């Protein structure tokens, strides 16, 4: 067995995606299933498609290409603004991209013409989180310009909150987006098909008793599907499974040692000062061959009977509460989003 390894429970992902699709249906909100934390894993994508998502969302063109090469023909949205140097690959493999820069959309237009393809564009609007987005007062002018571009069709508008500054989606900012749609449609005499209100952080708002859904008809959902939680308070969403991913690693030392270090102490390998442990006597310490080169150890939850004491590049140090742990034994950890992402992108973790 190759360790460490990340195990994916595809049934749990299917369950979560189809539950969210079903729950959002009465609100007339469709789901874009975001695969970016799985590096565009085609097996995960197939579950999302089967569960009723209307498109897939990916942040990296490499992952979009991986999905296409695996034979996935479902509509794919590039959910990060395209790099100007990658517009050819974007037009070739993604159906739609989220955009904020007219210059990039002009480059997409030229490329679409030369590839004899049509590329869909969703204009992202800034509503306070201060990551990607066109300022509200500029959206109409950009939309007028984009509408003229050959090879480009305007698919809709969207926004993204809660990622950079933690701004919470609520009736106020979502109504701003809805009002903008109404005003754009009347002044430009056009219909906007997709109104993409945001990500997993929008679910608390969407399912709230006093939510005003307005024109929002689309959400891009990643973490809620993969880990079963919303992202404003990181609380578990009732009815969803939180065990889709498990990170398994191997015990390489298991020994009874003093609870407290000895010798004079400075910083550790990562420049952190250790708080003094107010403990006496002996504890059972276990080292697992897993470290910061494999995952984000602060995002791991230890199996029952163990607590995580610390980590360095290659070692995860645990305390075993019942003293049971043998060298060579495997221990499995639950992951949060940061730990999942780091494990997925580590060359040392088998997925
Ligand atoms: C990552 C991302 C999403 C998905 O976010 P989750 O919190 O995982 O649901 C949606 N939209 C954009 C633009 C993103 O970058």
Axis-axis angle for helices 102-115, 139-147 (nearest 10): 20
Ligand 1 centroid – CA 147 distance (Å): 26
Catalytic hit among 36, 46, 155, 257: 36
Region of 31 (left: φ > 0; alpha: ψ -120 to 50; beta: rest) is beta
Pocket test for ligand 1, best of 48, 159, 220 (most atoms within 8 A of CB): 220
Ligand 1 centroid – CA 160 distance (Å): 8
| Domain identity same for 223 and 249 | no
| Domain identity same for 272 and 173 | no
Distance CA(191)–CA(155), nearest Å, equals 9
Cα angle 173, 179, 183 (rounded to 5 degrees) comes to 145
| Domain identity same for 249 and 172 | no
Q: Considering only CA atoms, which of 19, 60, 70 is closest in space to residue 38?
A: 60
Q: Considering only CA atoms, which of 96, 94, 81, 90 is closest in space to residue 134?
A: 81
Supply φ then ψ for residue 168, to 5 degrees.
Answer: -85, 130
Distance CA(123)–CA(188), nearest Å, equals 15
Judge contact between 128 and 167, C-beta under 8 A: yes
Ligand 1 centroid – CA 260 distance (Å): 42
| Domain identity same for 170 and 252 | no
CATH number of the domain residue 208 falls in:
3.20.20.10
Select from 227, 256, 283 the last residue of a domain.
227
Does 85 reside within a domain? Answer: yes
Does 232 reside within a domain? Answer: no
Q: Please name the residue ranges forming H helices in the chain.
A: 10-24, 42-50, 61-69, 87-93, 102-115, 139-147, 171-188, 203-206, 223-227, 337-345
User: In 185-275, which ranges are E strands?
Assistant: 194-198, 218-221, 245-258
Q: Which atom of ligand 1 is nearest to the CA of 160?
A: 13
The number of domains in the chain is 2
What's the 3-state SS for 143-181?
HHHHHCCCCEEEEEEEECCCCCCCCCCCHHHHHHHHHHH
The range of the structural domain enclosing residue 84 comes to 9-227
pTM of the model: 0.96
Does 15 reside within a domain? Answer: yes
| Domain identity same for 222 and 251 | no
Judge contact between 94 and 87, C-beta under 8 A: no
- Output the CA torsion sign for 135, 139, 145, 148: positive
> Do you know the residue count of the chain?
351
Does 235 reside within a domain? Answer: no
Does 351 reside within a domain? Answer: no
Does 153 reside within a domain? Answer: yes
Nearest CA owner, ligand 1 atom 1: 222
Does 27 reside within a domain? Answer: yes
Cα torsion through 147, 60, 22, 18, rounded to 10? 150
Please say if 241 is a catalytic residue: no
Distance CA(297)–CA(343), nearest Å, equals 10
Q: Considering only CA atoms, which of 95, 87, 90, 146 is closest in space to residue 120?
A: 95
**pLDDT recorded at residue 267:** 85
Does 80 reside within a domain? Answer: yes
**pLDDT recorded at residue 345:** 96
What is the mean pLDDT, run by run of 10 residues, along the chain of 351 residues? 94 98 98 98 98 98 98 98 98 98 98 98 98 98 98 98 96 98 98 98 97 98 97 95 98 94 87 72 95 98 96 97 90 98 97 91
Pocket test for ligand 1, best of 199, 200, 204, 234 (most atoms within 8 A of CB): 199
| Domain identity same for 219 and 108 | yes
- Write the CB contacts of 189 (distance below 8 Å, at least 6 apart in sequence): none
| Cβ < 6 A, ligand 1 pocket | 34, 36, 59, 79, 160, 199-200, 220-224, 231
Tokens of 23: 């729950």
Select from 200, 227, 254 the last residue of a domain.
227
CATH number of the domain residue 335 falls in:
2.40.30
């Amino acid at each position: 067995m190759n360790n460490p390894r990340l195990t994916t429970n595809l049934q749990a992902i299917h369950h979560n995606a189809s539950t969210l699709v079903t729950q959002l249906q009465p609100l007339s909100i469709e789901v874009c299933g975001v695969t970016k934390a799985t590096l565009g894993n085609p097996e995960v994508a197939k579950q999302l498609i089967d569960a009723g998502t209307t498109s897939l969302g990916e942040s990296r063109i490499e992952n979009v290409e991986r999905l296409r090469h695996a034979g996935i023909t479902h509509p794919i949205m590039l959910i990060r603004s395209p790099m100007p140097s990658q517009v050819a690959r974007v037009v070739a493999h993604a159906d739609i991209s989220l955009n904020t820069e007219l210059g990039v959309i002009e480059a997409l237009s030229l490329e679409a013409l030369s590839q004899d393809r049509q590329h869909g564009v969703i204009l992202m609007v800034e509503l306070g989180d201060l990551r990607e987005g066109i300022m509200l007062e500029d959206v109409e002018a950009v939309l007028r310009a984009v509408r003229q571009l050959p090879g480009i069709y305007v698919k809709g508008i969207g926004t993204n909150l809660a990622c950079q500054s933690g701004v919470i989606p609520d009736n106020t900012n979502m109504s701003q987006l809805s009002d903008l749609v109404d005003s754009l449609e009347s002044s430009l005499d056009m219909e906007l098909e997709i109104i993409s209100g945001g990500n997993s952080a929008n679910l608390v708002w969407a399912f709230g008793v006093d939510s005003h859904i307005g024109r929002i008809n689309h959400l891009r959902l990643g973490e809620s599907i993969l880990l079963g939680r919303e992202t404003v308070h990181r609380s578990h969403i009732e009815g969803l499974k939180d065990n889709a991913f498990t990170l398994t690693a191997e015990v390489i030392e298991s020994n009874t040692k003093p609870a407290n270090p000895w010798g004079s102490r400075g910083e550790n390998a990562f420049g952190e000062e250790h708080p003094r442990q107010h403990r006496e006597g002996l504890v059972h310490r276990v080292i697992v061959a897993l470290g910061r080169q494999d995952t984000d150890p602060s995002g791991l939850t230890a199996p029952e009977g163990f607590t995580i004491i610390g980590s360095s590049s290659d070692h995860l140090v645990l305390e075993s509460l019942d003293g049971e742990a043998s060298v060579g034994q495997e221990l499995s950890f639950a992951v949060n989003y940061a730990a999942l992402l780091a494990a997925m992108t580590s060359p040392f973790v088998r997925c």
